Each structure stands twice: as structure tokens, then as C-alpha cells.
Amino acid sequence: MGTPERDVLRRVGEASVLVLVSLAAGPKHGYALIQDVKQFAGVELGPGTLYGALDRLERLGLIESMPADDRRHPYRITAPGAAALRAHLDSLERVSAAGRLRLQLGGI
């Protein structure tokens, strides 16, 4: 296994990661993002939280807004965003595997 990529998503917060996971399936606007996150993660993102996450991700260059459709701005994940998400999920997988193994060894 090579050196793991730097995990830029470690400090952006859960909402930003959820938004990025949702956008990995294709461009979405705010309302669709909230519905999708609720469906796959069971988390209800508040609209203020959503816009905070979108701004943060856009500033980091991990997503970009597309031309407005009526009043709604759809957002899409960028190539660096996809790479960052992959690195973050890899990191989570390593932690998850270690946690499961230790629980098993500990007999808990």
C-alpha cells in the first residue's frame, strides 16, 4: 500500500463530508442535497448548515457551482473533491477495520 493521501476532509466537519458523498452521485441543488443526505445517512441537514458546508467546500475547490437553474444553483464535485473524498473514505475504512478487529480481539 502506498503512502495515504493527505486527508483534507478530516477537519471540515461531518456535514461537508455528507454533502460531498451526495454530490459524488451527480450534481444537485440544496433541496435535493438535503433529501439525499436524509435518505442515505439518516441525517437532516439544516439549511444554514448546508450552505456553510457548500461555501467551505467551494472555497477548498472540492465542489463548484453550476449555472443557476431558475433560482437554484446546482453544485457538482470537482476532480480534487473526488480525490479528497476517496482519501477520506480510505482513512475511515482503516479506522473502521482497526476498530472492528480490536473489538473482536477484546471479546467485547
Under the rule (CB under 8 A), what is the footprint of another protein? 29-31, 34, 46-52, 55, 68, 71-73
Rounded Cα distance, 81 and 67, in Å: 19
State residue 2 phi and psi, 5-degree precision: -75, 180
Q: Which is nearer to another protein, 58 or 90 (CB)?
A: 58
DSSP string covering 44-74, please? ---HHHHHHHHHHHHHTTSEEEPPPBTTB--
| Closest among 31, 40, 77, 38 to 57, alpha carbons compared | 77
Residue 31 Cβ, how far from another protein at the closest point, in Å? Answer: 5
Residue 18 Cβ, how far from another protein at the closest point, in Å? Answer: 15
Q: Which is nearer to another protein, 26 or 46 (CB)?
A: 46
Joined together, the cell numbers standing for residue 104 give 473482536
Rounded Cα distance, 51 and 65, in Å: 12
Residue 12 Cβ, how far from another protein at the closest point, in Å? Answer: 12
Residue 22 Cβ, how far from another protein at the closest point, in Å? Answer: 15
Q: Which is nearer to another protein, 8 or 56 (CB)?
A: 56
Q: Which is nearer to another protein, 46 or 99 (CB)?
A: 46
